[in-house]
Amino acid sequence: MPNPLVRFLLHWAITSASLWIASRVFAGIRFADASSLIISALVLGFANAVVRPVLIVLTFPLTIFTLGFFLLVVNAIVLLLVSTLVRGFAISGFWTAFFASIFIAVTNFFIQAFLAAASARN
């Protein structure tokens, strides 16, 4: 198991890669430059660690009522929040954020699974 700093940097790189791929797939996601991409990945990680749990608690009854599907809306709101906080990162609207957040989560999952399988072979 790598030390916490290496794990953090690896997760940050994976999130950056997922955001970059999402910006290539979705026309409504734009980054002004590489630094806005890297900062967006850092702020997204922070928002997922701090803001997202608060939103989940606040919307818990709605999440239960929708059998968990409202969590997709929470993910989109967090992504929109990050786009408003980071200069140079723009998302065209809610539905772009909604589908991009799903895409980013799936991309993160597959990249992490690939890296885990590659490190298990070594």
Among 21, 38, 50, smallest CA distance to 87 is for 38
With 0-12 CB in 10 A as exposed, 13-18 as middle and 19+ as buried, what is 68?
exposed
d(CA 46, CA 31): 19
User: How many CB atoms lie under 10 A from the CB of residue 93?
Assistant: 10
Among 61, 62, 70, 65, smallest CA distance to 101 is for 70
More confident residue, 41 or 122: 41
Strands (E), 5-121: 29-31, 89-91
pLDDT in tens, 73-112: 999 999 999 999 999 999 999 999 999 999 999 999 999 9
Global pTM value: 0.90
Give the pLDDT band of residue 115 (cuts 50, 70, 90). Answer: confident
